[in-house]
Amino acid sequence: MAIVTLQNVTYKYPLTEAPVLQNVNLQVNEGEFVAVIGPNGAGKSTLCYTLAGFVPHFFKGELTGIVEVAGVETHQSSLNEWVLNVGLAFQNPFNQISGAKYTVFEEIAFGLENIGVPRGEMKPRVEKALALTGISDLADRSPYSLSGGQQQRVALTSILVMEPKVLVLDEPTSQMDPIGTREVFGVIRTMAERGMTVVLAEHKVEWIAAFADRVVALKDGQVLLDGKPGEVLTSPLLEEAGFGISRYTSTARKAKEMGLWKKDQLPVTLEEAVEGFRS
Amino acid sequence: MLDKIKKDFNTMTWVLIPVAIAINVVMGEIVVQLKLPVYLDSIGTVLVGALCGPWAGALTGTLSNIIWGLAIDPNAFPWWPVAFFIGYMSGRMANWGFFKSWWKVVVTGFVVALTAAIVSTPISVYLYGGITASGSSFITAYLLQTGQGILSAVLSTGFLVEPVDKITTSMLAFAIVQGLSTRFLARFPRPENVSTEKGGKTELFIAVAVVVVLVLFAAFMLRNILGG
Amino acid sequence: MHERLSFYVHRDSPLHRLNPLTKLTMVFAFILLSFGSPWYWTPHILIVLVILPLSFIGRVQREYLLTAARLIFPAAGFLFLMQSLFQPIGQTVWFRWWVLEVTHEAVAFAFVNAARIIVMVSSFTLLLLTTHPSELMSDLTRRGLPSQFAYVIISTLQIIPQMQAKAQTIIAAQRSRGLDTQSSFVKRVGALVPLVGPLVFGSLVEVEERAIAIEARGFTSSHAKTSLREIPDSRFDQILRGALIVSVLLAFVSRLWLS
C-alpha cells in the first residue's frame, strides 16, 4: 500500500524563476526502502524537504500538485503535525545538533520531550535507539565533542527514536568511512524490514545496489528512471546524463563491448562483478 | 499585544538569538582586545531587532547583558534595561522602515543612541549617583565639577558617548544584512524590514561622513572638556 | 576566557540538592534585600554571614573565591574607587586632592554600592556553580517557562565558547601576520573587518539548517512537553522559598515604615 504519493509535483523556491521539481510523480509503499540518486542540483534535497514537509511550510515558495503522506495532504497539514509522521536527517551533522543539550543521551531525548512522550517511556526508547545505531558508548559525551561520522549517527538516532512512519535521509553517511557506511545502511535496512518506509538521497551507488529495494533517478527536477536497483543503476542513460555510476558497471560495460562480459545484466557491486567475470 | 509579540518569534528567531548573543559577546571582547574606543557589543541585538522585530531584539539585548554581566564584567548587570531598549528600539525603527538604506540606518543608530542615553540615566543616577564603573564617568565627573546638575551631567555624557557607538553598530548590522541572501532573510519573521532600497555608494559615503563628523565632534568636545 | 561559561561544578552538597527554583528565589531575595533593606549594613552582612558560608556548604568555596578574586572584587573595587573619588555628595571632607574631594558620605555610598554589586554577582555565581543549566531550565520549563527560552539559554551557553575559540584562532592568525594591539588606530580598525566576516557569516549561515533540524524534532509541537530529568522539590524547598519571600517583604515594609 502506498504511504507516500507525489502527483505532478512542481515547486519553485521564493524569488526564483526556474522550478526545482517538475511534474514529479512518485509512490512509495509501506516498508519500502527507496534510494534517490542524481547529479548535484538535480533536486534531491528539495525532494527530501518536500517529503518532510519543509517545502512548502518552512521554505514557502510555490508548490503545485499533490503531496500525500499517510493519507494527509501537505497543504492540509502543518509542519508540527507533519513531522510526527515523517522524520528527516540531512547531510551536515554539526548543524543538526540542537545545541540545547549537554549529552548525547539528552540530545536524542530532545525530540521525545518536544512531542510529550512520558518520562518512563523516554529512557528505554532512547537506550534502544542508541543500541540500534551502535552509539551506546557515546551516551554521556557532549555532542560537540564527537567526530563528524559520530555526529551523523547521533543525528540519525535523534530521528529514529521518534519512530516516524516515513524516514527521509539526505546523504546521512557523507562523513563516514566505508565500515560506518555499511553499518548505517544495515540499520536503515533493518528499519525498513520492521515496516518503516525509507527514502534516502545518496550517491554511494554500490551501497544502494546492496541495500535498497528501488532506485529513483532525478535529473533537472524530473524523474528520469524509477525501478529495481539492478536495472536503474546499470542503465546507459545514467552515464549520458552525468550521474556518478559504479566503477564496476563502467568496467563491465567496456568488457561487454570487448566481449569479455557474457551476462545481460551489468554489475553494480564488487560481488556482482566478481561473480559475473567468473561465469 | 500578545499576538504582536508572537509575530517576532518563529523557529528561525529562536535559533538566531543565541548566535546573535554570541556575536555581541565575542565582538565586545575583540573590541576590548583591539583597544578601540567603542563598545560594539550590540551588533547581534540590532540584527535580531531588524530581522525579527522589537520584542525579539529586546529579549536578545537583555539576555546578552545578563550573560555579559555573569561572565565578563559584573558591573554590566544593572544595565539590562538599556540593552532591552536598544533591542526594542532598533526593532521598532526597522518596523517603521528605517533599516532599508544607509542614511536611514544612521537615523536608526542615532535614535537607538538617544534611547540608550535616556534609559541609562535613571539607572546611573539612582543606583550609582551618576558615577559608574565606566570610563565615560570621567566626563560626568568633570561636568559635575563645573557645577552642572547630576541629571544633566549624566544625560550629556550619554548624548556625547552613545551616538558614535550605536551608529557604527547599526551600520555594521546593516552591512551584515547586505551580505546575506534574500532567500535566507526571507525565513525570518520580518524580511520586509530589511528589503534594501536603492541608494548605493553615494549614500554609504554620506553615512560614513556623518559618523566621521560625529567622531570628530565627540573628540573635540572631549578635548575641550578635559583640556578646559 | 573560555572555561568561564561552564560554571557548573559537579559535586554532591546540600546546596546542589536544593531545587533550582529555590536557589533562584534565593538569588533574587538576596539582591532585593541588599537594595531594599533600610539597614545600611545589610549587603555586607549578607556577603560575610550568608554568601560566604553558603559557598562552603555547597562545597564550591574554592571555585567561588577564585571567581571572586578574579572578577567580582576587582569590578566592585573599581566601582568603589570611582565613586569615592568622583561622587559630588557630602559635607564631611576627609581630604582634598587637585579637583577631587573625598567625603565621608561619598565613601559610605561607594562602600554600600560595591557590596550590592558583590551580592548580586556572587549569588548568581553560587547558583550557577551548584546548578546544572539543564536542571535549572527543565525545572523552570516544568513550571511554565516556554521551552523556547530554555533552548535559547542553553544554546547560547554552548555557542559562545565555540565562537570565542574561532575568534581567537583568527586573531592569532592575524597576529602572526603582524597585527598587534599597539599598532595604529587605523590598522586596528582594519583588523576588525577580516575578523567579522568569517565569524559572523559563518555562524549565521548555520541558523537555517539548525532551525530545520530542531523543527524536524518537534520544536514547535503543540503537545505538552515532557522532561527527561526528574527534579525533586521537597517540602523543605517550599518552606525555604516562602521564608525568603517573607523576608524580602518584611525588608520593604520596614523601609516604607521608616521613611
The ipTM assigned to this model is 0.94
Residues C48, C159 within the same domain: no
Rounded distance between C-alpha atoms, residue C250 and residue C39, angstroms = 12
Q: Is residue C139 part of a domain?
A: no
pLDDT the model gives residue C3: 40
Residues C117, C97 within the same domain: yes
Residues C76, C157 within the same domain: no
Residues C8, C75 within the same domain: yes
Please give, rounded to a whole number of angstroms, the shortest distance from the CA of A14 to a CA of chain B.
7
Q: Do C181 and B35 touch (CB under 8 A)?
A: yes
Q: Is residue C16 part of a domain?
A: yes
Q: What is the mean pLDDT of residues B34-56?
A: 92
C-alpha distance from residue B194 to each of A261, B46, B51, B108, B181 (Å)? 62, 12, 7, 13, 11
Among all residues of chain C, which has the CA nearest to that of A145?
Answer: C162
pLDDT band at B13 (very low <50, low <70, confident <90, very high): very high
pLDDT the model gives residue B199: 64
Domains of chain B: 2-227 (1.10.1760.20)
Strands in C33-136 per DSSP E: 93-97, 100-103
Tell me the residues of chain A between 149 and 188 that have a Cβ less than 8 Å away from chain C.
Answer: 155, 158-159, 162
Query: Is the CB of A60 inside 8 Å of chain B's CB atoms?
Result: yes
Q: Is residue C137 part of a domain?
A: no
C-alpha distance from residue A145 to each of A154, A209, B12, B15, C158 (Å)? 12, 34, 25, 21, 12
Q: What is the mean pLDDT of residues C136-163?
A: 92
From chain A, the residues in CB contact with B14 under 8 A are none
Which of C215, C223, C230 shows the shortest C-beta gap to A119?
C230
For residues A248 and B209, the model is more confident at A248
Residues C38, C110 within the same domain: yes
Tell me the residues of chain B between 120 and 149 that have a Cβ less than 8 Å away from chain C.
Answer: 127-133, 137-138, 140-141, 144-145
Query: Is the CB of B30 inside 8 Å of chain C's CB atoms?
Result: yes
Query: Is the CB of A88 inside 8 Å of chain C's CB atoms?
Result: yes
Instruction: Map residue B227 onto helix, strand or coil.
Output: helix
Residues C52, C123 within the same domain: yes
Count other Cβ atoms within 10 Å, centred on residue B122.
12
Q: Which three cell numbers stand for residue B7?
A: 509575530
Q: Is residue C204 part of a domain?
A: yes
Q: Is residue C19 part of a domain?
A: yes
Q: Do C227 and A113 touch (CB under 8 A)?
A: yes
Question: How many degrees, rounded to 5, is the angle at CA A191 between CA A190 and CA A193?
Answer: 65
Which residues of B lie closer than 8 Å to A, measured between beta carbons? 18, 182-183, 186-187
Residues C121, C249 within the same domain: yes
Query: Is the CB of B182 inside 8 Å of chain C's CB atoms?
Result: no
Rounded distance between C-alpha atoms, residue B61 and residue B43, angstroms = 10
Residues C197, C125 within the same domain: no
List all chains that touch chain C, counting a touch as 3 or more CB pairs closer than 8 Å: A, B
Residues C117, C211 within the same domain: no
pLDDT band at B223 (very low <50, low <70, confident <90, very high): low
Residues C120, C207 within the same domain: no
Q: Is residue C141 part of a domain?
A: no
Among all residues of chain A, which has the CA nearest to that of C230?
Answer: A119
Q: Would you say the C-alpha torsion A118, A124, A127, A132 has a positive or negative sign? A: negative
DSSP H or E run through B193: none
- Say if residues C21 and C110 touch (Cβ distance below 8 Å): no
Q: Is residue C138 part of a domain?
A: no
Share of chain B above pLDDT 70, in %: 95
Instruction: Say yes or no to pLDDT of B226 above 60.
Output: no
AA identity, residue A279: S
pLDDT band at B225 (very low <50, low <70, confident <90, very high): low
Rounded distance between C-alpha atoms, residue A196 and residue A184, angstroms = 15
End-to-end CA distance of chain C: 45
What's chain A's length in residues? 279
> Would you give the DSSP letter of residue C218?
T
From chain A, the residues in CB contact with C228 under 8 A are 105-106, 109, 112-113, 119, 122-123, 126
DSSP letters spanning C91-108: S-EEEEETTEEEEHHHHH
What does the pLDDT look like over B54-81, one tens digit per residue? 999 999 999 999 888 877 777 788 899 9
Residues C220, C122 within the same domain: no
Q: Do A100 and C151 touch (CB under 8 A)?
A: yes
Rounded distance between C-alpha atoms, residue A134 and residue B157, angstroms = 62
DSSP H or E run through A73: strand A72-73
Among the listed residues B117, A4, A158, the one whose alpha carbon sits nearest the alpha carbon of residue C215 = A158
Q: Do A13 and B183 touch (CB under 8 A)?
A: yes
Tell me the residues of chain A between 81 and 110 that have a Cβ less than 8 Å away from chain B.
Answer: 99
From chain C, the residues in CB contact with A79 under 8 A are 215, 220
Which of A15, A16, A99 shows the shortest C-beta gap to B18?
A99
pLDDT the model gives residue C194: 75
For residues B101 and B134, the model is more confident at B101
Rounded distance between C-alpha atoms, residue B196 and residue B99, angstroms = 8
What does the pLDDT look like over C53-97, one tens digit per residue? 999 999 999 999 999 998 899 989 988 988 888 777 777 878 777
DSSP H or E run through A195: none
Q: Is residue C8 part of a domain?
A: yes
> Would you give the DSSP letter of residue A266?
P
Share of chain A above pLDDT 90, in %: 84
Rounded distance between C-alpha atoms, residue A24 and residue A7, angstroms = 6
Among the listed residues C123, C113, C114, the one whose alpha carbon sits nearest the alpha carbon of residue C30 = C123
Total domains, chain C: 2
Instruction: Map residue A204 onto helix, strand or coil.
Output: coil
Q: Which three cell numbers stand for residue A120?
A: 518512563
pLDDT the model gives residue C171: 81
Structural domain boundaries enclosing C16? 1-131+234-259
Beta bridge partners of C35: none
Residues C7, C112 within the same domain: yes
Q: Do C221 and A118 touch (CB under 8 A)?
A: no
Q: Do A15 and B187 touch (CB under 8 A)?
A: no
Q: Do C156 and B22 touch (CB under 8 A)?
A: yes
